[in-house]
Amino acid sequence: MDAAATAGRFGSFKQLIRYGLVGLAVNLIGYALYLLVTFLGVPPRLAMTVLYALGAAAGFWGNKRLTFRHRGGVASSAARYVLAHGVGYLINLAVFGIVIDKLGYPHQWAQAIGVFVVAGYLFLAFKFFVFRQDAFTRGEGR
């Protein structure tokens, strides 16, 4: 294995660690709020929808700057970010449908499972679609 391949793999591992830390902070707060608002009577799907949008907004800057250290334009990465999260939201909604409606488990479990399923999808979407590194964003195209 050459040095470039090793550096690339190590860089991806560091991104995964940073993604995990940003995600852990956003999702711990989001899940605590989810439990609180559903306890207070907000319907689970409504709570998930509102908190998903808030968590996605909070996560944009953390992932752009900290996780992927993306230097590309904000507008284009934000548009791709919204698209990736739209798909992530639909995945989370599908998890709700399967875990709650089909399997009969409590909504708290559905949301906990959804967090992990969507997080895996989003890491790949962010790395290869939203905050992808091309020659321009690496500074080689200027």
User: Six-digit token pair at 20?
Assistant: 């995990």
Number of domains forming the structure of the chain: 1
Domain that holds residue 41: 13-130
Question: Is 53 part of a structural domain of the chain?
Answer: yes
Question: Is 137 part of a structural domain of the chain?
Answer: no
Question: Is 2 part of a structural domain of the chain?
Answer: no
Question: Is 99 part of a structural domain of the chain?
Answer: yes
Question: Is 117 part of a structural domain of the chain?
Answer: yes
Question: Is 136 part of a structural domain of the chain?
Answer: no
Question: Is 5 part of a structural domain of the chain?
Answer: no
Question: pLDDT tens digit string along 53-86?
Answer: 998 888 898 899 888 989 888 999 999 999 999 9
Q: Is the pLDDT of residue 3 over 60?
A: no
Cα(91)–Cα(100) distance, integer angstroms: 14
Q: Is the pLDDT of residue 4 over 80?
A: no
Please give the model's pTM, rounded to 2 decimal places: 0.78
Question: Is 8 part of a structural domain of the chain?
Answer: no
Cα(18)–Cα(63) distance, integer angstroms: 8
Rg value, the chain, Cα: 17
Positive or negative: CA dihedral 4, 8, 13, 19? positive
Q: Is the pLDDT of residue 10 over 60?
A: yes
